[in-house]
């Protein structure tokens, strides 16, 4: 019997196989929980197998771009010529979802709307109309059980699906892909790092923003500042280096502190900001399906080649020590450091490498300290190669 034929909704709050490392991806709340031992990113790392399944080959570790950014055919930067009103940036992800439905490429789009009671509580849906896709615009920076809606597929009439998700969700999805009642699956991924629980998000907002109750969305951006958008349309920026690190070290989910899939290696197409200059989005086409998705909107984009500038290495090494020691700078000094780094620091792909290096080294330290028996098999080969370039504390 196929898993979707015996699928039963599971109660939330039950103990999950990954325990404290669970990212709440939603797979354990479906009949596909039977596959979790091999599907969960925090129980079994399978990057090589996933890349070969999704892209036809694994990444070339001798190629520095692939070492960092995964298998790809193209990388470019872009922004929509006609931005979507209310989108977090110009709305490329939402536009792709809309065009995928309008063109008949897919029957539905798995995306994440928000609770009517709380702007940051995620509500995964199988969107069937452009309006439902547009209702999902703006990221929800909290753990989200996207895959729980797979439970709705049997009997829905959905045979062609576009899934929008982050790395841990996509790793689980790829592992069960062949068992889903689908004829076609397209995967649009976003780079992802440092999600939190809803309570953790509140702690972060209260620590970092002047008006936490009015924040609509925020992002850590390439100018080394956190950009907050408020409900009255105003913007607020705060330097990375001014965060209350001692207070915030504990808010990030353990799943995020043990994740090495920042760039969403299993997606067909990735859209984010990390490898682009400020004001643009970074697009990574990993395979022909990713190009199909990009074809839906490329004529509507202002595109440009990727660029790279600066040297990240000294900043990463200094950051390792500052984070490990929970250094908190006074705001005036944080502003000065932020100005200098913005002016002379890494940009474009080099900023992407800076961010990857910073998070991979931090996460390797966390895994080795909190799960020393799992560290060797949990940290993938490409992450080990990157981490080896730096001095890490014990």
Residue 109 dihedral angles phi and psi, to the nearest 5°: -125, 120
- For 24: left if phi > 0, alpha if psi spans -120 to 50, otherwise beta; the answer is left
Q: What is the pLDDT of residue 5?
A: 37
DSSP single-letter state for residue 196: B
How would you classify residue 174: left for phi > 0, otherwise alpha for psi between -120 and 50, otherwise beta?
Answer: alpha
Say how far apart CA 347 and CA 307 lie, in whole Å. Answer: 8
End-to-end Cα spacing for the chain:
49
Helix (H, G, I), strand (E, B) or coil at 159: coil
In angstroms, the CA 393 to CA 317 distance is 11
Q: What pLDDT is stored for residue 75 in this prediction? A: 98
List the structure tokens of 176: 């069960």
CA angle 44, 199, 8 (to 5 degrees): 50
Whole-number pLDDT of residue 194: 86
Name residue 112's beta-bridge partners.
124
CA distances in angstroms from 209 to 17, 34, 81, 330, 339, listed in the order given: 36, 42, 31, 16, 19
The pLDDT tens digits along the chain (394 residues) read 343 333 333 445 566 899 999 999 999 999 999 999 999 999 998 999 999 999 999 999 999 999 999 999 999 999 999 999 989 889 999 999 999 999 999 999 999 999 999 989 999 999 999 999 999 998 888 899 999 999 999 999 999 999 999 999 999 999 999 999 999 999 999 999 888 888 889 999 999 999 999 999 898 888 888 999 999 999 999 988 888 888 887 888 999 999 999 999 999 999 999 999 988 999 999 999 999 999 999 999 999 999 999 999 999 999 998 888 887 778 888 788 878 877 788 999 999 999 999 999 999 999 999 999 999 999 999 999 999 999 999 8
- Whether this prediction's pTM lies above 0.95 is answered by no
**Which helix (H) or strand (E) covers residue 204, if one does?**
helix 198-208
Instruction: Work out the number of other CB atoms within 10 angstroms of the CB of residue 272.
Output: 25
Measure the CA–CA gap between 313 and 393, rounded to whole angstroms.
16
Distance of CA 66 to the CA centre of its chain: 18
Check residue 380 and report its DSSP letter: -
3-state secondary structure of 267: coil
Residue 176: name the closest of 188, 164, 185 by CA: 185
Q: Tokens 């958008």 sit at which residue?
A: 229
* 297-356 per-position pLDDT tens digit: 999 999 999 999 999 999 999 999 888 888 777 888 878 887 887 778 899 999 999 999
Report which of 46, 197, 30 is spatially closest to residue 110, judged by C-alpha positions: 30
């Amino acid at each position: 019997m196929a898993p979707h034929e015996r699928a039963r909704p599971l109660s939330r709050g039950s103990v999950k196989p990954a325990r404290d490392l669970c990212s709440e991806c939603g797979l354990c709340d479906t009949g596909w929980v039977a596959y979790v031992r091999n599907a969960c990113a925090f129980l079994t790392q399978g990057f090589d197998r996933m890349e070969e399944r999704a892209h036809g080959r694994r990444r070339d570790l001798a190629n520095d771009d692939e070492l960092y950014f995964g298998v790809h055919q193209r990388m470019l930067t872009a922004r929509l010529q006609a931005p979507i009103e209310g989108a977090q940036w110009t709305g490329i992800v939402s536009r792709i979802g809309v065009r995928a439905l309008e063109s008949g490429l897919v029957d539905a789009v798995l995306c994440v709307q928000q609770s009517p009671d709380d702007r940051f509580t995620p509500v995964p849906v199988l969107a069937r109309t452009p309006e439902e896709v547009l209702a999902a615009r703006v990221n929800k920076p909290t753990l989200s059980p996207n895959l729980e809606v797979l439970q709705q597929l049997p009997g829905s009439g959905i045979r062609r699906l576009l899934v929008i998700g982050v790395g841990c969700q996509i790793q689980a999805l790829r592992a069960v892909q062949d068992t889903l009642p689908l004829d076609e699956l397209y995967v649009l991924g976003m780079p992802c790092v440092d999600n939190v629980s809803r309570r953790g998000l509140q702690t972060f907002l209260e620590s970092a923003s002047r008006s936490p109750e009015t924040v609509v969305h925020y992002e850590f951006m390439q100018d080394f500042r956190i950009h907050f958008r408020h409900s009255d349309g105003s913007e607020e920026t705060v330097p990375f280096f001014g965060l209350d690190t001692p207070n915030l070290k504990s808010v990030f989910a353990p799943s995020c502190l043990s994740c090495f899939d920042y760039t969403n290696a299993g997606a067909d197409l990735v859209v984010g900001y990390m490898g682009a200059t400020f004001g643009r989005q970074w697009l990574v086409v990993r395979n022909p399906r990713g190009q199909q998705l990009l074809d839906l909107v490329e004529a509507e984009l202002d595109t440009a080649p990727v660029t790279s500038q600066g040297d990240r290495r000294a900043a990463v090494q200094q950051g390792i020590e500052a984070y490990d020691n929970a250094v908190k700078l006074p705001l005036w000094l944080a502003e000065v450091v932020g100005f200098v780094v913005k002016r002379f620091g890494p940009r474009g792909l080099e900023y992407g490498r800076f961010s990857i290096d910073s998070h991979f080294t931090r996460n390797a330290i966390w895994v080795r300290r909190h799960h020393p028996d799992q560290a060797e098999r949990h940290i993938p080969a490409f992450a080990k190669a990157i981490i080896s370039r730096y001095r890490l504390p014990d």
